[in-house]
Amino acid sequence: MRQTALLLLLAAIMPVVVHSQTVDRTKPPQTPPIPDFKLPSLYETSLPNGLKIVLVEDARFPLVTLRLAFLGGSKFDPPSLPGLSESTAALLTEGTKTRSSRQIAEELAEIGGTLNGASGPDGLTLAGSSLADHAPKLIEILADVIRNASFPADEVELRKQNRKEALRAQRSQPSFLADEKLAATVFGSHPYSHIAPTMESLERMDQKALANFRDTYLVPNNATLVLLGRLPGRQQTLKLVRAAFEDWKQKALPPAPKAEFPAGQRGILLVDRPGSVQADIHVGQLAVTRSSPEFFPLMMASTILGGGTNSRMFRNIREKEGFAYDAHSFLDTKRDAGVMTAITQVRNDVIEPAMQALLTEMEGMAKQAVPAGELSASKNFVSGVFLLRLETQDGLATQLSNMKILGLPNSYLEHYTSSVRSVEPDQIQAVARKYIAPGDAAIVVVGDASKISKPLEKFGKVTVTKAN
């Protein structure tokens, strides 16, 4: 009886509710402004040997995540050994003076842990995690691999052979060839121009070169240790770190390569790839670092131009014209420079209209102010993606270590979304004129020169070259 009465009451009030909540389904719902990120409680200190320490308490999960980051990326590779930093990072966990590669893997498995090395343009980082109860063991293994890596001859040889095969696979991809030539054009003689090892440098790599790189750059006064998660208390954590690293000797560091780059100059470099049925087009030029006041306006400009399925390049070049499956842009920032690039892959028979469409979209960013609705949607997209990346321990630890590598302040993360929200249309137009409009941009095209060189001549002087 009570149920029947309730149903009758709901039936009586339903028309009133529906009538009072009329929804205009022709318009998307309004997204409220996305809030700033609030950095968890963070404690910073350093050891007498120069090792910087960052502790962040996060008790949500019984986990500990760490990053040990060095300014020892590929820009510090010797000119004759590109890829040395990359190989050093990969081989750190493949054996020490007292542990074999297998023993390291088994000890990590016993504590539910991981530990891997990776290298980028500016930094070399060891990334690890384990169950919180086993944090002392994780720190012990970390200290062993960074201080005592022995680079066993069999592991070095295996790494060399595997990396050669991976490099052959990379060099079979037109997108890699375009990236390689664009980096060489934009960065000139600076080490940023090398994005991968060569077959020759891999052949020359040996235990001595790896150990020398480790002993030169992987030193405490060039490092930041980030520990994040359910830590065993600040004093106990610092005691563990001191025990593992306090007697690690600091060393004088060689100077970093000078941040000197060539001026932009318009030109079309055609990398001949006989038999290609499509052309990879990369248009790029030198841009800003994250510490520049122009970074956030340029990042928003890149997002609007080609940062997703709602971007201008995607909607026009792919959806409207059907020239390409992929059309996107991105702003790649390093410590000393950045590069702004627009990319698409198109069929040979549409190379001319597709190139024109791409250049028109790039020029359009500089000619007209971005409408308020388009800018607002892009701000919410960028801010939302940023906050999602910080939800996990791994994501936050990665961002914290990247900030140290890029020389950014702690406030960078907390002010990120407000910096995004503060970007105005006139700022976007100003940076688009400098870094997106293709007047001085390098254009690299990878494809069959016999099929596409003639149409490309309508856009400038074409220089044909072979892949390295």
CATH architecture under which domain 42-245 falls: 2-Layer Sandwich (3.30)
Res 28: pLDDT: 64
Residue type at 403 in one-letter notation: M
Count of CB atoms within 10 A of residue 184's CB?
18
Q: What are the respective helix, strand and coil percentages of the chain, to the nearest 5?
A: 50, 20, 30
d(CA 49, CA 233): 23
Res 134: pLDDT: 96
Res 35: pLDDT: 75
Residue type at 45 in one-letter notation: T
Q: How far is CA 211 from CA 40, 164, 215, 235, 398, in A?
A: 37, 21, 6, 33, 26
Res 37: pLDDT: 81
Looking at domain 267-466, its CATH superfamily turns out to be Metalloenzyme, LuxS/M16 peptidase-like (3.30.830.10)
d(CA 439, CA 266): 6
Q: Examine domains 42-245 and 267-466 and report if their fold is the same.
A: yes
Per domain, the residue ranges of the chain are 42-245, 267-466
**Averaged over 403-408, what is the pLDDT?**
96
Tell me what percent of the residues of the chain surpass a pLDDT of 70: 93
Res 467: pLDDT: 78
Categorize the per-residue pLDDT at 10 as very low, low, confident or very high, splitting at 50, 70 and 90: very low
**Averaged over 24-35, what is the pLDDT?**
69
Mean pLDDT of the chain: 93
d(CA 294, CA 39): 24
Whose CA is closest to 210, among 99, 122, 84?
Answer: 84
d(CA 58, CA 172): 44
Q: Is the pTM of this model over 0.85?
A: yes
What is the enclosing helix (H) or strand (E) of 203?
A: helix 199-204
